[in-house]
Structure 1
Amino acid sequence: MSMPIAPAIPTTPAERLRWALSDAWVVSGRELIHWVRNPVVILNTLLFPLIMVLLFGYVFGSAMRVAGGGDYREFLMPGMFGQTMVFGVISTVYVVAANAARGVTDRFRSMPVSSFGVLMGRVIADMLTSTLDLVILMLCGLLVGWRAHHGLGSALAAAGLLLLLRFALVWVGICMGLRLTPEGAGAAWMPLFPLTLLANTFVSPELMPAWLRIIAEWNPLSATVQACRELFGSPGLSGGSWAAEHAIELAIGWPLLITVIFLPLSIRRYRRLNR
């Protein structure tokens, strides 16, 4: 009877990268299969932002005003895009925590699989589903009157900034998920909800008290939303502060800083599980 032979461990940087990317592709395929086979998760993921658009756009929208004037639903949509990217962390935290609790993570760690590849597989799967969420939400925005006034190129640049924020937050979700139980992961929305409210997502910072305006303008989510409003040509652009006038730079800088911090923390935590 023949015995299975373990693959040779790569030694050169190029071989390690190829090994990690191959493992990441396999793991991401596994995660996407689980996602497709769970229709309840798909419905929750896709319906929640649509419900929020209808609720804020038509129910609360009549009582909202935009600094400088303009249609509130056009002001709202970039904020909804950003909030959806942030709320995606909830699913990341829960899935990572559930995999760790069910022994899936330990099984990966016992196999000749790249640790970076396993985590990157989770990132790829989350980025693909987030891209689908964003496309559906943009189509919903077109139905309620939102438009990208500065053309396709600027719209794609704004979408890129939104996905860059999501990429950074996936690493935050992985780091949290490796430290929490599934029950604790279920409460991940609690710190995220005020984070999305203390920003320029639903209300212009100019309409807030001075101390709250500073917090809202320096919120990483606000930078991405402000940059998207500039690129889309949406109403309600803030001004008067360094953060508001350099939103595009901050929309790139904040996610890069978050990634630099949480990517190595996630890998370190993954390698040190149960130690």
Structure 2
Amino acid sequence: MRPPFELATMRYATTMTTTMTAPAMPMATSGSAFAGAGVTSVVNRTTRSRTASRRNGDDGMAALYSAPTLSKKNRMVVMQQECAAGVRELFDQAARDYDRVESLMAFGSGPRYRRDALVRAGLASGMRVLDVAIGTGLVAREALRVVGPGGAVVGIDVSAGMLGRAAASLPVRLVQARSEQLAFDRTTFDFVSLGYALRHLDQPAAFAEMLRVLRPGGIACVLEISAPTTSILRRALGLYIGRVGPLAARLIGSKKATRDLWRYFWYTIEHAVPPATVLENLSAAGFHGVRRRVTYGVFSEYTAVKPGVPAGA
């Protein structure tokens, strides 16, 4: 049966695996989503552990969190290496309960914040929007409210589970594809959004694609959670996302995958490249007017503009 969303063409579907590769020596890189160390020597061993644990009835993620031979940073890189299989599978399995847990964790404030952030970035009525890594549609839902009937929203994601949830509630076109290889022509969109998925992507490749599909003068808006710079706030956020998040998922009866996903979120936040690097990557991709707005030291809004004059301006 055909899923309620489009599969990208073979050109894109055949490349739906991670393009990130760990460096040979421990180092932080601007091209990677994480500032972690290379651990290629343990990837195969951890993959075997993950496969064995799946045969024993768990979802396989426990091996990534508990492998005694890996440091916290190295566990992050192993997750990155297994993105195409393990992480996408985790998002698929957690899709059903994701919105309920998110709403509980944000005390219902998420929709208003996301809508205001999009408007601050320049989203307006009648625009054509691409929501990259749409997930269950939390950002796209607010984009629809802003652009109105004269606009249009398209969403892409690698997770079939997340796309299925979005398709059930949003009147938007959905495409299953990687954020680093967008299955759209040049200058197709007025506005491209990326909500809370920057930590999972190859930034230079994703930003280059966002620039390509934007029209001249088009706007890119990236919403993300950033690790606080102060140790007290950092520990507090880690406790809330990494510990309270899984507990909230358990209380509402979510699957184990949902609890694992919230733990994974904190690892990706804690080890993400710093905001200054994100700004550098946007500029290096060719964007102008790159800036960051931060709220409570945690919620980052990156905005950037594609150079050029819009047609008909």
TM-score w.r.t. the length of structure 2 is 0.23
Structure with the larger RCO, 1 or 2 (CA within 8 Å, 6+ apart): 1
Higher fraction of helix = 1
TM-score w.r.t. the length of structure 1 is 0.26
Answer with 1 or 2: which has the greater Rg: 1
